[in-house]
Every structure is written in structure tokens, then in C-alpha cells.
Chains A and B, each alone.
Chain A
Amino acid sequence: MQSNGSSVLESSETRIKNRAGKYLTFQLAREEYGIGVLHVREIMALQPITAVPQTPADVKGVINLRGRVIPVTDLRIKFGLPETQHTPRTSIVVVQLDNDAVQVGVIVDEVSEVVNLQQADIQDTPDFGRDISVPYLLGMAKVKGTVKILLDINRVLDASELKTIKTLLEEQEITI
């Protein structure tokens, strides 16, 4: 038990230490999110997705990425945001997870830019209350007057611990 606790502590410390760096930012329902650029393999226009039966709603299906079949997740649905019509700007961001051999595509409203964040730009995620843990948030960054939510994409796509971000933000009345 003890060793378990300390290892969690360590990993969260390293996580915080390593937060500075380049992030790819994108929009979801007019909110700005960022994921570490090292996880991003490529960005592609939305393409026809083959639905796979018996999968969660956020899993839109699979696509052909140069001969490989990869799953695609709609982040709006994953975060409990309302689904919208896809626009020409809707993109698939292909990410590489640490513990997964396969790459995964995530659908976002619009890819914004790559920003270079310093340690000072990044704040810890506000405390959402005792009962709620938000393990998939790395922190919040303020860039040119807007707040960007930094995601730990590994945990976002690890379905088990997900709680809708929308509810969390509403509960805490955080304005972005």
C-alpha cells in the first residue's frame, strides 16, 4: 500500500514538472484544449468512418490510416458536449498513446495552433472538490488572454476513469 501511494505521488510530480513544452491546441464547442505535441502523429481532414457495432457512443468507428485500421473517438461525445454537424474544419487528430501499440484518432471541431508553453504559463487544475478526481487534466494554461485546458490524452482515451468534463466545469462555475 505504501509503495503504491508514493509511486502515484511521484508520477504526478513528474507530470507537473514536465508540463512545459509544445502543445497542439484545438477547439471543442468553443472551448480550447491542448494535447502534448509529442503524442500527435498527424492531423487529417475528416474522412468516411466505418461504424463498428457494439461499441460506446463516442467510438465513431474505424478508419484506414495508410493501410492500418485505427479507431476514431469523437471527443465531443466523450466529454458529454452536444454533437454538431461536421464542418470542413472538423479534423481527426491521430495520437499515439504510451501504452498502446495502435494509434487512435480523435475528432475535434477545429485545430487551432501549436503553442509553446512555459512552466509559468501553466496552472494546476483547480480543485473540483473532494469527491471528484480529474486525472485526465494536466492543468490550465493562459495564452494571449484565453484559457486552454491541457489534456493527458493517455487518460482521456482510457475510458475507465472518465467523468464528463462539462459537468465538472459547470459544477465549479468556472468561466473560460
Chain B
Amino acid sequence: MLNTSLVMSSLEQRLESIAMETMLADPAGEGCAGRWSAELMKFSEQAEGGGLSGLAKLAREASERIGGVAATAPEGEYGSLISIELLKLQQALAAVPASVAAPSSASGSIAQDRELISDFVLEAKEHLAAIEGLLLTIDKDEHDVEAVHSVFRSFHSIKGLAGFLELHAVGAVAHEVETVLGEARELRLSITPAVIDVVLASVDYLQRWIVQLESDPLGVPPAALLDNASLVSRIQHLLSPGTEPGAKHAAEHQAELVISAQPPPAAEVEHVVSTAKQGQGKSVKIDTAKLDYLVDMIGEMVIAQSVVRHDRVMVRTQSQQLTRKLAQMSSVTAEIQRTVMSMRMVPIGPLFQKMARLVRDLTRKIGKNAEFYPFGEEVELDRNIVEELADPLMHMIRNSVDHGLETPAERVAAGKNPVGRIELRACHAAGQILIEVSDDGRGLNRTKIFNKAVANGLIVPTANLTDSECFQLIFRPGFSTAEQVSDVSGRGVGMDVVNKHLQKLRGNVEIQSTLGQGATFSLKLPLTMAIIDGLVVGIGSERYVIPIFAIKEMMRPVEGMVSTVEGRAEVVMIRDNILPLVRLHERFGIKPRSVKPEESVLVVTEANGRPFCLMVDELLGKQEVVIKSLGDRFRNISGIAGAAILGDGRVGLIVDVKGVFAA
């Protein structure tokens, strides 16, 4: 019997890998059309075999469309067509009813084997992730001997395990790479980018194996996976003397290497150790629903505890012992709460690492030169968001490298550093998570985008748009379909795909760009489930939470600081700056304790870069809160970003500072 769920997940993987490849290769490149359409045919056959004939039909049609369009269409149209077709298939796959996907009973297999293989999968995944990170380190600094050792050890472990499980194809590749690295370790081979290319290709190959083993531990892998002859010969080729272009460099670097190899600089070792630690973390898979429940229950526990603490009997008690015991319990609960809160958040670092790899591969492929600088890798995001983010980020990075950055020659001509700069940063900003992709390339050409949008009928020629509104046009479906925008030095290929993904995450994207100096794409994502530090403020009998990162300062005004403008708007004079005043009680229709500013507190914050003051009755304290959605019923309330459970168990609304100001 065919196990449909296995087929499903294997189809999913296949689709993902096609998507990844179209990202890496120039999808519109020469001769690629046949390849994608063949890939999709294979996909279709597999779907047919798994009894998903609807999906198979879709894939077949997509394949035909791509094949057909490739012959006639201009390149740009064709590139985004592939993205769109793939997205369609992904959606179709996701829509396959759960009943179909439900696993039928497993055939009588040896459970032990399954377990061993899944252990191998877990361990190999950790190794491969560590290897990839280390290789990128080595790529920047080939003298990092400690990193070479680590990579060597990881391949060695994989080889050993694969041999044990009789995964000969895996073992063979690992063995060959190990041999190459062994030479490098003995300083007989220098690690050139070409070597790293091949090792990375091996990592990819092993990763495909892992994916296969994960989806179908006991099945027969497809022939393409078993055939590693070309890869093995590529690896062996690295060692055959004379033909390898990097070999002659080896001698040059050898002396240097020996010196740096003796006492490895402390900082580098630390770095390696920390990378290794990341890779070696043992993990357990947990249903997120259980995690959510745990978080809620811990919250209840903290509240119950605070009720005990404030109980009249407790407050009046003379027993120091009892007080101390309670304090001890509190500290334990607080620790548990912190841990549980952090459990469903993952750092964005690994995703950034994938992007580093993407930049490397892309630049090498298209002959551009770029350095990748990640910032804020430690920023933690909800797991689901990180997963969903991978696709749009890949599209944007690709867009930046492909269309944003000029060729080295063009850069020199423009008086720029021939090596481009791609930055990826993550941070919390005003209650959201902000992810920025910036490049120092040619920037977006406003006039050309505008003209193109007019030509495509998206806007009227008389439209009066700001720069950011104009740039926003490239996310419109149908913007990039007529001709490739990069030809006219605009942007836009695949951008409507980015937008689709972001809509799913309920995020948005903005572009800032200066012609000739580069562009920055800012993604703003909601922080469903994210934890923020909040300032709890009181207005009348209500309490609100203001995100701390939105707050610049807080103060109690003295008489005369607040004055009215035209009898309507109010402003505050703070150190010679005049800031608008927003009375939160008026915005939210609450009866305040006092309407006099002197008896209230002003919170200085900002919206869209412009500072302003919020007037509240009192400050009640700072609290780390989990942001909860208010649900569909309250979706469009301006000025409210969500809700949070406060220390006493009541609900506090989280103020959306920007929304309050705009209202």
C-alpha cells in the first residue's frame, strides 16, 4: 500500500527543492526552461503514483505552460511565471484534504530500523548545519584551522553512521570529502573558494538524502539520489594535482598557514566552539498546541501565586519564615515562566545563515562580488514566522544581488567599492519585528517604475505618488510580467510573490531607495506570540500596555508646559522642542482620573519618526508580556495592537503608538 502522507511530504520536499534551485540558478537562464518543465513533469508523475491525480494534472499543465512560454516569451515574464506556478502548486498541495493525507497504517516494518534511521537523520542534520556555518567562516578566513578540523570531524561522523546503516552512497561522498579535508588539515591543500563550492555541493547532496530518509525512511530512494558519480569525481578532482587551479596557491599559503595554525587566535576558537554548541543542541519535537497550553497554565500559576501573596492573611502575617518560603516559590515560578516563554521562540540566526549561503552562491554564479553582513541574528521570532519568512527573504536577497548590485566594472565606474554590500538586519521596532534587506547597488529608478506602471495600466499618468508609493507598485501582480524590469534598471521580478507570502504573515513591506546609492526593503511583521517589554499605564480604571521600545522618555509636566493651538490641538514644550500631545483617554473614550496635565504623566514616543506625547494618568510598572491577538472580532481597532495578560490576571490592551497618532 502506498502511504499517502509519505508521498505528500516527499512531494512537498521536491517542490521546495525545485523552488530553491530556481532561486539559485537564474530561472530565466539559457536552457533552463526544459529543466524546470522536466522537473515539474517528474513531480506530476510522482503525484500520479501517489494517487493525487488532481495535483498531477496541475503540475503537468504548469510544466506545459512553462515549456510553451519559454520558447516565445521575453525572459522577465518567464522568470516570474515559474515563481507563480510553483506558488500555485504549493498552495494546491497544501489544500489536499487532510483525510487524503492521513497516514494509512504502516506496513509491517522493523521499528528498530526506523528509529536508527531517524536518529541518523537528526544527528546528520545537526552536523550539516554546523558544517555549512563553518564553511562560510572558512570562506572568509581560510586559515581558520580549527574550523577545518570541525568540518572534518563532522564528515567523519556522518561517514561512520552512514556505513553502519549501509547508506553507501552517503558514506562514499562523506568519505571523499573527508579525504579532501584531511589533506587540507595536513596543510597539503589550500581551501580555495572552488574547494568550498564542491564541499557545499556535497552538503547539499547529503541534505537531499536526509530529506529523503526523513520522508520515507525505508523506501527505495530515487535513482537521481543514488547516482553520486559526478559529485564524487568532482571531489576527487580537487586532489588530482596540476589540473586543480587552486593547487598552486597551496604552496604560497602554506607558510602562513603553519604560523597561524600553531596557536589559533582565542577569538576564533570561541567562535568555533559556539557554532559547534549550536549544532550539537539536542532537541525534542513538541506539538505547539501543548506549548501554548503550557504557557497559559504557567501564566495562571503566576497569577494564582500573586493572589496568595496579596491575600489579607498573608499581608498581615508576622511569620518571616512563611514570607521567605513564598519568596522562594516566586523566584522558581518566575524562572519557569521565563523558560517556557522562550521555548517557542527561535533565533533568526540560522535563517540568516541560509541567506549568507544564498548570497555566496548567487554572486559566484552571476559574476558579481558582494559581502554579506547579518545583524541582529540573536533576535528571536516565533518559529512559524521564521519558517514562513524563508521564501520572501530568498526572493528579496536574490532580487538585491541580481538586479540591485551592479557588476564590479559598473561599480568601479560609479566610484564605488567593487565589492557590493548586502545587509540583513533584524530588530524589534514599535511593536513589530522589522527585517531589513539593504544593498548599496543602483537603487530603484522611480521614473522608470512610474512609466512602466502607466504602460501596464496600473496607474494613470497623472497620478501623484510619493516615492514610497511609487516603489510599492513593484509588488503589484502584473507589474513585472510584460518585460524584465531589470533591463531598464528598475526592479520587480518575483516581487508579487514576496507580497503574497507577506500577506499570509499579515506583514507589510516598504522600500526606501536613492537612485545610484542602493535600496532598503523593510519587512514589518506582526509579533503574534512575540514577547515584548511593556510599560503598564493606568487611565481611569483601565490599564494599557505601551511597548517599551517605542518609548523615548517619561515625565510629569509642570504647569505651562502644555498649550493649545487654535483652541483644538495641544502641544507640549519639552526642552525647546514642541511635541504634539495626544490624550489617550480621549482617543479611547475613558473617564480619566484627571484631565490636568500637571496631574498626569506624559510618555514621549514616536510615530513614523516624528516624536509626540501620550498623556496617561499614571505609570504602573514594567512587565514582560506575551502578545495575544484580539481575534477577528476586534481586528480593525485603530490604536490597539493586541492584548496581554497582566500580573493580576486581567487583560491589558497593548497600545499601537502609530495607530493612536494617526487616528
Contact = CB atoms under 8 A, between A and B. Distances in A.
Interface of A: 48, 50-55, 59, 61-64, 66-71, 100-102
A53 B633 contact: no
Contacts of B650: 48, 50, 63-64
Nearest to B652: A50
Nearest to B544: A50
B506 to A, nearest CB: 16
Nearest to B296: A67
Contacts of A71: 630-631, 633-634
Given A53-B588, A53-B640, 16 more contacts: A50-B542, A50-B543, A50-B651, A50-B652, A51-B542, A53-B639, A55-B637, A63-B650, A64-B645, A64-B651, A67-B296, A67-B300, A69-B628, A69-B631, A69-B643, A71-B633
25 contacts: A50-B643, A50-B651, A50-B652, A50-B653, A51-B542, A51-B590, A52-B637, A52-B653, A53-B587, A59-B633, A62-B643, A63-B650, A63-B651, A66-B296, A67-B296, A68-B296, A68-B628, A69-B629, A69-B630, A69-B643, A70-B631, A71-B630, A71-B631, A71-B633, A102-B631
B108 interface: no
A7 to B, nearest CB: 22
Interface in B310-333: none
Contacts of B296: 66-68
A53 B637 contact: yes
A67 B631 contact: no
A62 B640 contact: no
Nearest to B588: A53
Nearest to A62: B651
A68 B650 CA distance: 11
B166 to A, nearest CB: 47
Nearest to B634: A52
Contacts of B609: none
A50 B630 CA distance: 12
B295 A67 contact: yes
B412 interface: no
Interface in B60-109: none
Chain B CB within 10 Å, residue with most, of A52, A53, A63: A53
Nearest to A50: B651
B609 to A, nearest CB: 26
A100 B299 CA distance: 24
A54 B645 CA distance: 21
Contacts, number: 67
- List of 5 A-B pairs having minimum Cβ-Cβ separation, nearest first: A67-B296, A53-B588, A50-B651, A69-B643, A102-B631
Contacts of B652: 50
Interface in B412-470: none
Contact of A69 (B542, B589, B645): B645
Contact of A55 (B295, B634, B639): B634
B297 interface: yes
B649 to A, nearest CB: 6
Nearest to B651: A50
Chain B CB within 10 Å, residue with most, of A59, A68, A70, A102: A68
A56 to B, nearest CB: 10
B638 interface: yes
Interface residues of B, number: 29
Contacts of B653: 50, 52, 62
B624 to A, nearest CB: 15
Contacts of A48: 650
B535 to A, nearest CB: 17
A53 B630 CA distance: 12
Contact of B633 (A63, A64, A68, A102): A102
Contacts of B634: 52, 55, 62, 71
Contacts of A59: 633
Contacts of A70: 631
A70 B637 CA distance: 15
Nearest to B644: A69
A50 B654 CA distance: 12
Contacts of A61: 651
B300 to A, nearest CB: 6
Contacts of B587: 53
Chain A CB within 10 Å, residue with most, of B295, B296, B634: B634
Nearest to A101: B631
B269 to A, nearest CB: 44
A64 B630 contact: no
Nearest to A53: B588
Contact of B638 (A54, A66, A101): A54
B511 to A, nearest CB: 31
Nearest to B648: A48
Nearest to A100: B632
Interface in B605-651: 628-634, 637-640, 643, 645, 649-651
Contacts of B637: 52-55
Chain B CB within 10 Å, residue with most, of A54, A70, A101: A54
A13 B587 CA distance: 47
Contact of B651 (A55, A66, A69): A69
Interface in B508-551: 542-543
A62 B630 CA distance: 8
Contacts of A50: 542-543, 643, 650-653
Contacts of A68: 296, 628
A1 B163 CA distance: 67
A61 B650 CA distance: 11
A52 B589 CA distance: 10
A18 to B, nearest CB: 25
Contacts of B649: 64
B635 to A, nearest CB: 11
A62 B650 CA distance: 9
Contacts of A101: 631
Contacts of B297: 66-67
Contacts of B632: 100, 102
A131 to B, nearest CB: 29
A50 B543 CA distance: 8
B303 to A, nearest CB: 8
A69 B630 CA distance: 7
B131 to A, nearest CB: 41
Contacts of A67: 295-297, 299-300, 645
Contacts of B589: 53
B164 to A, nearest CB: 46
A50 B650 CA distance: 7
Contacts of A52: 630, 634, 637, 640, 653
